[in-house]
């Protein structure tokens, strides 16, 4: 039996301003998280289609139940991110074009790649989430707390549920495909696609959101881009693109924790990796306890704490 709980959220983005720079203390993290919102819509749409397609070939009842709950959680994430991105598009209508491109990149996968490939894609990418989101949630005081509460609460909820269903995609992949070698062989093309999509979003931010409001070169998260920009300052006649400060989201986080997360990402791609054994962020446990106690997790930092 699956332990997953499908929780419906409403962050009321239509009633509130949705700032692009939602954590003014960290423009690079604001931009990166916004890119995750765009990616989530396309990726989770692909997941829903993929599970619907996989269902007839899942023979194990427990796996079928896990797949259903996993799909429904991802469907909720997608809905919430759509509302978030809709709020951004209200201010910056050009971002509609960016959203269409991001969704298009995942629709292409649904159309042009096999079910096995998409199951591997989902298993590989989701396996990286627990170590990466642990780094973020362990540093909530710097990354989320100073930000807009609704946007912060959206990401905290999503990342906590990604930790909750950290084993689902691998369970489904193992049941339908069951080949670590296949999964590992596809990893380079899978992660190239992920980075390409984040690049589409980041280029869209540079293009459609004025620098005075985003306060960062959204492409600065890419090492290669940073290198090229540096190179351009040295070559006579070439100027670096003036897209803003080359800030990085995790610069202020403890280096040791960043290295642990990196190690976790590498480990997540190894054969026989079992996400169930991962170290979990303390905030995830606290979040589930507060949710069960009736606390308004849609306003994580500002809701009435007496309920918890």
Give whichever of 197 and 209 is closer to Fe ion, judged by the CB atom: 197
Give whichever of 167 and 229 is closer to Fe ion, judged by the CB atom: 167
Q: Shortest gap between Cβ of 49 and Fe ion (angstroms)? A: 15
Q: Shortest gap between Cβ of 256 and Fe ion (angstroms)? A: 27
Q: Shortest gap between Cβ of 179 and Fe ion (angstroms)? A: 21
In angstroms, the CA 94 to CA 91 distance is 9
DSSP strands (E only) in 8-150: none
Give whichever of 126 and 278 is closer to Fe ion, judged by the CB atom: 126
Name which of 34, 126, 132, 50 is nearest 85 in CA terms: 34
In angstroms, the CA 114 to CA 108 distance is 11
Which long-range CB contacts under 8 A does 61-68 form with residues at least 24 apart? 62/1, 62/2, 63/171, 63/172, 63/175, 65/1, 65/2, 66/2, 66/4, 66/168, 66/171, 66/172, 67/168, 67/172, 68/2
The closest residue (CB) to Fe ion is 77
Give whichever of 5 and 228 is closer to Fe ion, judged by the CB atom: 5
Total residues belonging to the chain: 308
Binding residues for Fe ion, rule CB under 5 A, total 4
Report if residue 84 touches Fe ion, rule: CB under 5 A. Answer: no
Q: Shortest gap between Cβ of 238 and Fe ion (angstroms)? A: 41
Q: Which of residues 152-191 bind Fe ion (CB under 5 A)?
A: 162
CA dihedral 146, 151, 154, 158 (to 10 degrees): -70
Give whichever of 79 and 113 is closer to Fe ion, judged by the CB atom: 79
Token digits for 126? 């989701």
* Alpha-carbon distance values, 90 to 115, 135, 267, 274, 286 (Å): 35, 31, 40, 42, 34
Give whichever of 80 and 216 is closer to Fe ion, judged by the CB atom: 80
In angstroms, the CA 123 to CA 129 distance is 10
Q: Shortest gap between Cβ of 73 and Fe ion (angstroms)? A: 7
- Per-residue binding string, Fe ion, 118-137, x by CB under 5 A, is --------x-----------
Q: Which residue has the tokens 């997540």?
A: 268
Q: Shortest gap between Cβ of 76 and Fe ion (angstroms)? A: 8
Q: Which of residues 44-83 bind Fe ion (CB under 5 A)?
A: 74, 77
Give whichever of 74 and 278 is closer to Fe ion, judged by the CB atom: 74
In angstroms, the CA 259 to CA 163 distance is 19
Q: Which of residues 240-279 bind Fe ion (CB under 5 A)?
A: none
Q: Shortest gap between Cβ of 125 and Fe ion (angstroms)? A: 8
Interface residues with Fe ion (CB under 5 A) are: 74, 77, 126, 162
């Amino acid at each position: 039996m699956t332990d997953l709980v499908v929780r419906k959220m409403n962050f009321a983005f239509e009633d509130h301003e949705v700032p692009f720079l939602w954590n003014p203390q960290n423009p690079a993290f604001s931009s990166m998280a916004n890119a995750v919102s765009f990616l989530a819509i396309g990726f989770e749409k692909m997941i829903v289609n993929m599970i619907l397609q996989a269902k007839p070939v899942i023979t194990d009842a427990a796996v079928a139940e896990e797949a259903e709950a996993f799909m429904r959680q991802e469907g909720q994430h997608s809905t919430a991110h759509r509302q978030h991105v809709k709020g951004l598009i209200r201010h910056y209508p050009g971002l509609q074009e960016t959203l269409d491109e991001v969704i298009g990149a995942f629709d292409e996968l649904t159309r042009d790649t096999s079910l096995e490939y998409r199951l591997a894609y989902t298993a590989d990418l989701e396996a990286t989430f627990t170590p990466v989101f642990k780094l973020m949630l362990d540093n909530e005081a710097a990354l989320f707390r100073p930000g807009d509460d609704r946007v912060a609460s959206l990401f905290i909820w999503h990342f906590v549920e990604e930790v909750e269903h950290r084993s689902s995609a691998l369970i489904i992949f193992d049941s339908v495909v069951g080949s670590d070698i296949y999964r590992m062989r596809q990893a380079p093309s899978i992660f190239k696609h992920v980075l390409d999509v984040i690049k589409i979003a980041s280029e869209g931010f540079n293009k459609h959101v004025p620098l005075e409001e985003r306060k960062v070169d959204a492409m600065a998260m890419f090492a290669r881009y940073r290198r090229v920009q540096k190179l351009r300052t040295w070559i006579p006649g070439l100027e670096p693109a003036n897209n803003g400060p080359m800030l990085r989201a995790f610069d202020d986080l403890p280096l040791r924790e960043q290295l642990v997360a990196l190690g976790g990402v590498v480990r997540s791609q190894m054969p026989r990796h079992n996400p169930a054994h991962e170290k979990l962020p303390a905030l995830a446990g606290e979040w589930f306890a507060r949710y069960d106690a009736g606390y308004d997790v849609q306003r994580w930092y500002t809701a009435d704490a007496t309920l918890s």
